[in-house]
Structure 1
Amino acid sequence: MKKILLPNLSLPYRRCLAIIISSCFLLAAPHAAAQQARVAPGDTFGATIGSTFMYDTNVFRISPLIDPVALTGKPTRSDQIITSTATLSLNKVYSMQRFEVNGSLVDNRYNNFDFLNFLGKNYTAAWHWHLTPYLHGRLTSSHSEALNNFANLTGFANSTTRNLRTTDNFHFEGVFEIDRAWHIIGGIDHNVYKNSRLTVQDFNSKIFSVEGGIRYSFLSGSSLTYKVRNGQGEFINRAAPIVESLFDTRFDEMEHEVRLVWPVTGKTSIDARAAYLKREHAHFSQRDFDGFVGNFNLNWAITGKTRVNAGWVRQLSNYQTVLFAFQHPVFERFSSSFIATDRFTVAPIWQITDKIALRLRYDFVLSDFRGAVIPLPSGERSDAMHSALVALDWQPVKAVFISGSLHRDHRNSNLRGFDFDSSAASVSAKLNF
């Protein structure tokens, strides 16, 4: 029998992971064997192929103060991008067990900046497991590949290069229902983030977390959950701290969370989360950060044909800088260890007919770069970005979907060189089988 290789984690976490996975498979095996002959209704298999043509006026999100030749070697900021996608999906039900698998190949082709071309391989897989009606949960895994967001890299080395961001996630969660109201919840989570090229702001890293809490479910369908998460992280391929840059090897995270799910009426629902996140680094406390994070989402079906989704999200995320990483003298240098981001969103949808829908979306994002480790005359960086989208969707038959959209981004910054404007227009077509 082959050995199961666990991530390089501390002994208590490895034991916890091994016990949970082994117990889950051992207990579920008799159920799966007995139920394979009785396939429940609801099985689906799907295949989708599609293509999108996009014209983007500012691919690398370059400031109007910057000559694009100095950064890209070409006199243009714009490009025509063709993205082709092929997807296979499977939804399989065996009595109390449900399995979902989705895999896709995404081919991206650029006309002017063809060095950005890449083929992304993505998948998600989920097992919605039930051992008894009172003990259930999910086991999920996912892998995604995409270009790093150029807006996040503006001003730094490799901000105009082909830098692929690969994300792998493994998640296990379980729910034990003490009674109809009180539920005990727990789980483990393992994330790995890698870049194909060196990225100073958000390094290659991995984090393993254990979480647990309690949930109260109301007869109305509402629920209130308290959960605590403890995570151990490390920066991959960094054997020792880099003292001159205050770049660490390891960090710990602790998060306390309260979450409310409230179906207010048949047409309105609220999903709200409030949490306190704290990250501590092993050697350089200057890089530590903590604070409030959370979200508030409102879904409102105004009429049978119109609905609005509105929300607010606050995040704290790693963003460590060093002065030598700045790419061009026009950019004002700043120092930071993390970003505090507030995003406000409103997205109305109008189902004009059974086959035609109009979608609008507006986002306002405030980003404050904090945790400076070097005092600079320019002070802390603060950005404000406005994003707007209008899209028209047409589905003449179930197997055909066509969409056209216009997208506009505008970012202001208190520091020189980090502002930009970009506009994009796209047309998409998709066939479902």
Structure 2
Amino acid sequence: MSYKFTVGSLKYNAAIFLANKGSISKDLVMWFRVGLLGLCSLNYAQAAYGPEDTVKLNVNLASQYDSNLFKLAENIENTQTRENGHKADLRLDSKVSGQLDLILSRQLLHANADISQINYRNFSELNHNEWNVGLAWDWLLGSRLSGQLSAKASNRMSSFEDDLFAAQGNRVLDMQRQNSVDWQGILKLKSTLSIIATAGISTEEHDLKKFIDAKNNTASLGLRYQTAKGNYISLRHGWRKYTYDIDLPFRAGFTEQTSSVNLGYSPSNKLIISSSLGLSHWVSAFNDQSQNTPQWDLGLAWQATDKTSLKIGYGQSFSEFTSGAGRNLDRHMNIGAKWAMTAKMDWNIDADRRERSFEAAGGNAQRNENTNSLRIGLNYKALLPLTITSYVRAEQRNSEVINGNYKDYQLGLNARFDY
């Protein structure tokens, strides 16, 4: 298996080289990659890993056509689109992933990593590599104490959608790194009653947009009651401190305390209902003014038939990292459905709406926007280790920000092989 994987990698790298030289059509490179993955898998139709395996490896090859890569308004261009004469592009992704699950006595260790090579047909100045690594320790001490200690790090291109300088059409390759360390501890008082504590720190750093580099410290303490059937109710109080690395006059960090109650209820094995309700009291470091903001979340998962499932979600919460003055408050609504047409093929559809307001402590929302998206996908289990996914996605944003409106359409084809 390792020998054929190496040969496949050499062919794959050769295809990239030829594409960069322009000796073959870049469109054909996409189909070559997908076809090569399928051919390599024929001799290993039974080679897919199982959930109990210690080592799990997979390769993912993906292509995506994007009609508005830089998320620009209809009559707005930037330097790249003016040079190329259009806003659309074809993106080719190649990713290798691995996961290790190791049991040591009563402890469980997890390690995962992936690396991606991303190439654009026209906007080649955006070509880059991305990676993600993670470590986790599911620890157990005696019969009452348990929890998890985890660390994550990632490096990826920042989103064009959330570009602070959308009005100027400032589109550049900006890589952002996110690092986090999180701890959770659970003290079981009784078989149904537990105390849960958490603590974490996360950072965001950019190559170019240094003005939004930030640090996020969190902690929480809660009490949870859970029945033998899995139904639960919990009370939680959390603390948070958000600081920017660079002080600027138009925005500042904040401190926050949030109290919430969380419920989970399953009246049958086909229906799961989850909800949370809380109140955030936060103080801006810019003017020391405070504000109380409600937060909530309601989710429903229903297995309507053996082949059909439905998910619905609705809620309001602050986004984790913010990129301007005040905070981003998101109200989200989503509906998803899945239909297993055959044992090897299933359809899925997801509709999402996000209503965002930019909150400032002691004042009203500064500006608002809403983003709607619809995605229809088809998954096909061609072989035991090979899954092929195709999808079409449409997105539209209406914003009060100058030139912040955009429309975008995407077509995608992915092939994933599990070793």
| Common fold by TM > 0.5 | yes
1:337 to 323, 326, 338: 326
Displacement, 1:212?
A: 1.0
Residue matched to 2:84: 74
Residue matched to 1:370: 359
- Kindly provide the amino acid, as one letter, of the partner of residue 364 in structure 1: R
Residue matched to 2:42: none
Task: Label 1:300 to 1:159 Cα distance change in 2 as closer, same or farther (>3 A).
Answer: farther
Distance 1:161 1:351 in 2: 41
Displacement, 1:231?
A: 2.4
Task: Report Cα offsets for 1:223-260 as digits up to 9, x if no partner.
Answer: 11111112233222x3xx44xx2444x53221212211
Task: Label 1:158 to 1:101 Cα distance change in 2 as closer, same or farther (>3 A).
Answer: farther
Task: Label 1:372 to 1:184 Cα distance change in 2 as closer, same or farther (>3 A).
Answer: closer
Give the unaligned 5+ runs of structure 1.
Answer: 1-40, 322-335
Displacement, 1:73?
A: 4.1
- Kindly provide the amino acid, as one letter, of the partner of residue 392 in structure 2: L
Residue matched to 1:169: 180
Residue matched to 2:307: 305
1:412 to 398, 411, 414: 398
- Kindly provide the amino acid, as one letter, of the partner of residue 355 in structure 2: L
Distance 2:286 2:404 in 1: 31
Residue matched to 2:258: 255
Q: How does 1:4-403 map to 2 (within 5 A)?
A: 42-69=52-79, 73-153=83-163, 155=166, 159-198=170-209, 200=211, 203-236=212-245, 238=246, 241-242=247-248, 245-248=249-252, 251-285=254-288, 289-317=291-319, 319=322, 321=324, 336-371=325-360, 380-403=366-389
Distance 2:74 2:222 in 1: 50
- Kindly provide the amino acid, as one letter, of the partner of residue 188 in structure 2: E
Contact persistence 2:337–2:349 (CA under 8 A) = yes
Give the unaligned 5+ runs of structure 2.
Answer: 1-50
Q: Alignment partner of 1:115: what SS?
A: helix
Contact persistence 2:78–2:171 (CA under 8 A) = no
Displacement, 1:408?
A: 0.5
Task: Report Cα offsets for 1:4-58 as digits up to 9, x if no partner.
Answer: xxxxxxxxxxxxxxxxxxxxxxxxxxxxxxxxxxxxx944211111110111000
Report the identity percentage: 18
Task: Label 1:95 to 1:43 Cα distance change in 2 as closer, same or farther (>3 A).
Answer: farther
Contact persistence 2:283–2:361 (CA under 8 A) = no
Task: Report Cα offsets for 1:344-366 as digits up to 9, x if no partner.
Answer: 10110011111101111100111
- Kindly provide the amino acid, as one letter, of the partner of residue 420 in structure 1: Y
TM-score, length-normalised on structure 2?
0.81
Displacement, 1:192?
A: 0.8
Displacement, 1:261?
A: 1.9
Residue matched to 2:407: 421
Displacement, 1:86?
A: 0.2
Across the two proteins, how many residue pairs are aligned to each other? 367
Distance 1:155 1:267 in 2: 45
Task: Label 1:198 to 1:228 Cα distance change in 2 as closer, same or farther (>3 A).
Answer: same
Residue matched to 1:22: none
Task: Label 1:368 to 1:207 Cα distance change in 2 as closer, same or farther (>3 A).
Answer: closer
Distance 2:53 2:138 in 1: 14
Aligned CA RMSD, in angstroms, stands at 2.5
Higher relative CO (Cα under 8 Å, sequence separation at least 6) belongs to: 2
- Kindly provide the amino acid, as one letter, of the partner of residue 339 in structure 2: W
Task: Label 1:374 to 1:269 Cα distance change in 2 as closer, same or farther (>3 A).
Answer: closer
Contact persistence 1:60–1:159 (CA under 8 A) = no
Distance 1:220 1:416 in 2: 52
Task: Label 1:278 to 1:381 Cα distance change in 2 as closer, same or farther (>3 A).
Answer: same
- Kindly provide the amino acid, as one letter, of the partner of residue 263 in structure 1: S
Displacement, 1:369?
A: 2.5
Displacement, 1:319?
A: 4.4
TM-score, length-normalised on structure 1?
0.79
Displacement, 1:381?
A: 2.5
Task: Label 1:231 to 1:69 Cα distance change in 2 as closer, same or farther (>3 A).
Answer: closer
